[in-house]
Amino acid sequence: MTMRSVPKMRRLLDGMNKGSKMARRTMWTTDRIITTPYEKIEIPNCTVYDYVWENLEKWPEKTLSVCADTGRGYTYEQAFNLSNAFAANLRLKLNIRDGDTVSMMLPNIPDFPLIAIGILGAGGVISTINPIYTAHEVQRLLVMSNSKAIVTMPDKLKTVQDALKLAKINIPIVIVKTNGDAAPENTFCFNELSEDVHVDKSCLKEVRRSPTDTCFLPYSSGTTGLPKGVELSHRNLVANMQQMNNPKIRNHMDTSATHQDAVLGCLPFFHIYGASVIMFHKISVGAKIVALSKFTPDSYFKSLEKYKIDILYAAPPMILLMGGHPASTTETLQHLRSVINGAAPLSSTDVERFLSKVKNGIDIRQAYGLTETSPLVIMPPTGINNYQTVGYPVSNTEAKIVDQDLKVLGPNEAGELLLRGPQVMKGYRDNPKANSEVFTADGWFRTGDVAIADDKGLITITDRIKELIKVKGYQVPPAELEALLREHPAVLDAAVIGIPHSSKGEVPKAFIVLKDGQKAEAKDIKDFVKERVAPFKKIESVEFLDSIPKSSAGKILRKDLKAKYA
């Protein structure tokens, strides 16, 4: 699972040599499948719980996670013991059983990994919820996931309680305390459950989970519509972590007595990118995770410098910030060795602006993945200097590009990207219709993204077929906002599209048809939505129309709206 540590410059040069060799041969097969240039991997037949702790004895005293603001944190040995005590109490006191879902509604705190691994240790399934969600949004996810408990912060307790009332369910609430306050009435305290030295951990021997069982249930908008539960198995995540370890693409260095990579956890752990790439994988290789609970430019740049961050996983707004903020200097960014951009594409101009601020030789690449693919599926080799491409399929993974009739296309032809590999999800939970839409008859996963590959097989993402709006990398499904807008007493019909925004990428714009005799101002509409959704989903602008353009089948023609109004 690990590779012998070599000097940084040697590794960069090796990566460049490997990248140049790849550039001289094509990854296309005769039947127009794009194969991987990376060696095939063996996938361990184990659970995520077993995988992340496999090398624990090599670095028990190293820091596993630390709060960027306070310095509060845990060593690997502490994390192992506390998460196991928590797991035992989940079974003994909260009656969690194999396959039960436990929701986590938390910001990036150092306790997050302990809670997540504890849920897995108890035989449970993790489902994550954005902590800025409203009670309306939370109740829907709790019902859809059939959660048997929820873990949250004291300041989110009322939202959770309101969500439970709306859902008409009663499940245990576990509170994570970061200060000395007493736990609120009728809740469990994570700190007490995890620090219980008398708990009988022998109950964990009863856990029976196989690699094919679901272990993580994040919610994604998929290709269209309302959130869908993405069933990721232990095998999906373990396979993806093994794929990240491939010597030609990996960006971490071995943990040793004298070295430990520091990774900034500023992307949310409740998202697959943060959970799998930053949290689970980096624990498996013994890295230090610096948890940034609230992102501000000041806290971000201070953390990069104070904790000597080696590896940064970023979304475009962060790269833009580092390219233009006054606090972004060569000194602030001096420790960065590797920066991987995901969530949304970057332009070469944005990359060059960032590179002007950092030392020579930094590894910066764009990678591609989705919630449904655990997430990583395409990544360039180390040393590549093409900042537009997302690279080649990772080990054990294939790709192809098709037209609207699913006819396979060849080099330099743009079409929908399809994928096949061990990291692709089991499917959407209890949603056969959605599964039939994203899986072809022969088992390929339809990404809904438009891609083009050159004659060597290097893939570039060019557009989205799906109509999701990307606000700072977060997915906003138009269908969700449209359904909500139609609940407004004055609204007859509604449509939502994404329009360009200088710092957020895109923002939602609503088109409204009012009921006969009804009046409403744009502010009324925006406030109605604002009260019911997370801040990143709020409507930025409103336009009133006589009718919403629709196809003969009644589908909203968002492309027509974009062409005319965006």
Say which residue, 212 or 179, is predicted with more confidence: 212
Q: Which of 65-79, 498-512, 549-563 has the lowest mean pLDDT?
A: 549-563
Q: Alpha-carbon Rg of the chain, whole angstroms?
A: 23
pLDDT tens per residue across span 181-199:
778 899 999 999 999 999 9
Structure tokens at 191: 């700190």
* pLDDT the model gives residue 386: 86
The residues pairing with 450 across neighbouring beta strands, listed in sequence order, are 416, 463
- Nearest-5° Cα angle at 380, 369 to 224: 20
Q: Looking at the predicted structure, is the pLDDT value of residue 226 above 80? A: no
Instruction: Provide the pLDDT confidence category of residue 221 given band limits of 50, 70 and 90.
Output: low
Average pLDDT over residues 5-30: 58
Residue 149's pLDDT is 98
pLDDT reported for residue 9: 40
Grade residue 16 by pLDDT with cuts at 50, 70 and 90. Answer: very low
pLDDT at 43 over 80: yes
Cα–Cα distance for residue pair 320/330, rounded to 1 Å: 15
pLDDT at 551 over 80: no
Confidence of residue 23 (pLDDT cuts 50, 70, 90): low
Tokens standing for 194?
A: 């995890």
User: The whole model's pTM is what?
Assistant: 0.85
Architecture of the domain made up of 469-565: 2-Layer Sandwich (3.30)
pLDDT of 101 reads 98
Residue ranges of E strands in 110-187 = 125-128, 147-152, 173-175
What HEC string does 454-479 produce? CCCCCEEEEEECCCCEEECCEEECHH
Residue 305 has pLDDT above 60, yes or no: yes
Q: How far is CA 30 from CA 276, 378, 421, 556, in A?
A: 34, 21, 19, 39
- Per-residue confidence (pLDDT) for residue 21, from 0 to 100: 57
* 501 contacts 532 by C-beta, under 8 angstroms: no
Check pLDDT > 70 for residue 7: no
> pLDDT grade, residue 340 (50/70/90)?
very high
Residue carrying the six token digits 């004298």: 258
pLDDT band per the 50, 70, 90 thresholds, residue 502: confident
Question: Which of 23-32, 121-130, 240-249 is predicted with the least confidence, judged by mean pLDDT?
Answer: 23-32
The pLDDT confidence band at residue 32, using thresholds 50, 70 and 90, is very high
Instruction: Give the tokens for residue 226.
Output: 């309302």
pLDDT band at residue 214 using 50, 70 and 90 as cut-offs: very high
- Could you tell me what percent of the chain has a pLDDT over 90? 77
The residue ranges of every structural domain in the chain are: 74-209, 469-565
Q: What is the pLDDT of residue 6?
A: 39
Looking at per-residue pLDDT, the higher value among 475 and 187 belongs to 187
Give the other-Cβ count within 10 Å of 1's Cβ: 12
| CATH class label, 74-209 | alpha beta
Tell me the per-residue pLDDT of 437-470, one tens digit each, with 9 for 90 and over.
999 999 999 998 889 999 999 999 886 677 778 8
Q: Which residues pair with 189 in a beta bridge?
A: 175
Close Cβ partners of 253 (under 8 Å, ≥ 6 residues apart): 5, 8, 11, 259, 261, 310
Which is more confidently placed, 61 or 357? 61
Residue % of the chain over a pLDDT of 70: 93
Mean pLDDT, the chain, whole residue set: 91
* Helix, strand, coil fractions of the chain, as percent rounded to 5: 30, 25, 45
